[in-house]
Structure formats: C-alpha cells, structure tokens
Amino acid sequence: MPKAKKVRIQKLLSEIGIASRRAVEEMVLEGRISINGRTRTKLPVLIRPGADEIRLDGMDVDTTPPGKVYYLLNKPQGTVCTRQDPGGRRRAIDLVREAPRGVHCVGRLDMDSTGLIVLTNDGELTQRLTHPRHGIPKTYVVEIAGRLDEKQMTTLKAPAYLDGRKTTGLKVRSLRRGRDRSVLEITLREGRNREIRRLLARLGHKVFKLKRTAIGSLTDRGVKVGNYRALKRTEVANLLKTASGTDAVESSTPAAPPRKRKSVRRASRNHAGKRLSARPGSNRNKSTRGAKRRRRPK
C-alpha cells in the first residue's frame, strides 16, 4: 500500500476546522503541537493524514475529514462572517448549531449588512463561488439617502476603479424613489470589499440598509433573518453549474430560426424568375396559363 502523501500541518488543521493557517503556525512555534509523541517548534511541519498521531495541548486531534455540508443562512445585522474573531463578536457560523468542524462562510457580508450567505466545508464550491472569473450574480436591496438622477444611475452601472482594479459594473433598478430616501435593487458579479457602499458614497449617497436577497438561483424566500436551512443537492448542483458558466453559454446560443409554414396556395419562383404554382393542375394554374394564351398575338 502506498504511503499517504505528506501535507503541511497548517493546511490540514485549517481544512478540518481546528484553526486558521496562521493560528496553527503560531501553535507550532509555541510548542503546543506534537507529532507522534515529539513536540515540534519549527516550521515547516509535514504530516501524513490518517497515519501520524497529532496532539494539540496534550489532546488527540481527529484528522478524519467530515462529510460535505451546505447551508443557506439569512445573516442578521451585527454578526461577522469570519471563522475567528478576536473581538468576541457573534459569528455567522455560530448560528448554525449542527454544523461540523471546518464549516465557513463563502465570501462575506459586512457586519452592518443582512441577507443570504452560503456556509460549507466544501473547498471546491467555495473557490468557484468566490473567484472573480466565475461571476456568480448576487442581488441586493439597498436603501439610500436621497435619490439617484439619470446621470448618477448611468455612472453606477458603468465599470469603475476600486483599489486600482476595474469593476465589471452593476445592474441597477429603482424600486422606490423618494425625496429623502430611495430603494434600489442592485446585482453584481464580483463583490469587492464594501463595493456597493463605496460606489454609492462616491455619488454622495449614504447607505442606510443593505440586504442580500439572492445568490445565483437561491433566494431568501422562506428563510427569515437569523434562520438557516440545508441546501438541496439540486441547489448545490445549480450553483456549480452557474459558476462554470454553463447557463451563460446556453443563453448566448442563438435560437434556431422558425420553420416556415408550407402553404399549398403560395407560389414561388424558380431560378429563372418565372412564377411556379405550388399546386400543379389547380384552377389558379389553369387560369394563369389561359391568361398567357389570350395575350399572344394572333
């Protein structure tokens, strides 16, 4: 039987939810981790998953990876989407009580924002949903101060530069226009750090409320703020399909032209330009031949 492939200890322990990679590195340097009975205090530390015995603070570490799970959480205001928070604030993953170790938020919503966020321990799905090239659409309902005029609306839809990189632009729809407050529906495909708030601030509009209402085909229907539900297999498959761009490819394929209905009475022309009847021997054909004979000189 071939030997198990060695991996860095910080990679393995972070994947199974023990701590972040940086935190594991600090544990090693502090002498809190032993491998096969030997305390390690220098990096790198390479281990064989399932073969080497790992102990943290004298306790055995179970390195068996848990099964993949997927949750959809409607994040309330005041919660953070980090795996560890030094300030001790409430985390989004704390709201999913039955979640096994290794579950993390896919992307982020800032502490003041509410709405949908996916939690999983599936690294492949996380990479697909967060990588800019996959462009998963995310929809938000945003309440702002004042209202956008046509010029500002055009500016908000156009690509802009944030942190030296160009955005892909936003899809914006006005839901309610008021003198003091307005409500917009905004869809984006990247999700830079506080992108919507920063772009609206450039236009002089403060954001009062920001709620994410959809991620791809997932919506907040039936999931109240602070609650969550497990995703169905078909929903996970749809997310992966959207991330791979399959839908975009299919939608960009032109539809086949409609088939022309054949008419027994409609005439066509041959290559010489002469009119041919669709029904040889019909009354219409006979009358045409008769008319031609009558026009011949005697």
Which DSSP string do the residues of 63-120 spell out, in sequence order?
-PPPPP-EEEEEEPTT-B--S--TT-PPBGGGG-TTPPTT-EESS---TT-EEEEEEE
The pTM score is 0.68
Q: Cis (ω within 30 of 0) for the bond into 137?
A: no
Task: Report d(CA 100, CA 67) in Å as an integer.
Answer: 9
Q: Which is more confidently placed, 251 or 110?
A: 110
Predicted pLDDT at 252 = 31
List the structure tokens of 170. 């936003």
Cα dist from 257 to 16, 252, 260, 261, whole Å:
53, 15, 9, 12
Task: Report d(CA 12, CA 9) in Å as an integer.
Answer: 5
C-alpha count within 13 angstroms, C-beta hemisphere, residue 106: 26
- Per residue in 90-144, pLDDT (tens digit) is 999 999 988 887 899 998 899 999 999 999 988 888 888 887 677 789 999 999 9
239 DSSP assignment? H
Task: Report d(CA 31, CA 57) in Å as an integer.
Answer: 9
| Residue 149 annotated among the catalytic residues of the structure | no
* Three-class DSSP category at 186: strand
Predicted pLDDT at 245 = 64
Predicted pLDDT at 2 = 58
Q: Which is more confidently placed, 175 or 278?
A: 175
Beta bridge partners of 291: none
For the cut 70, the answer to whether the pLDDT of residue 242 exceeds it is yes
Where do the domains of the chain lie, and which CATH numbers do they carry? 7-60 (3.10.290.10), 66-134+216-247 (3.30.70.580), 137-215 (3.30.70.1560)
State percent of the chain over pLDDT 70: 80
- Per residue in 201-218, pLDDT (tens digit) is 999 999 999 999 999 999
Residue 111 Cα to chain centre, angstroms: 20
Catalytic residue among 57, 110, 112, 149: 110
* Three-class DSSP category at 22: helix
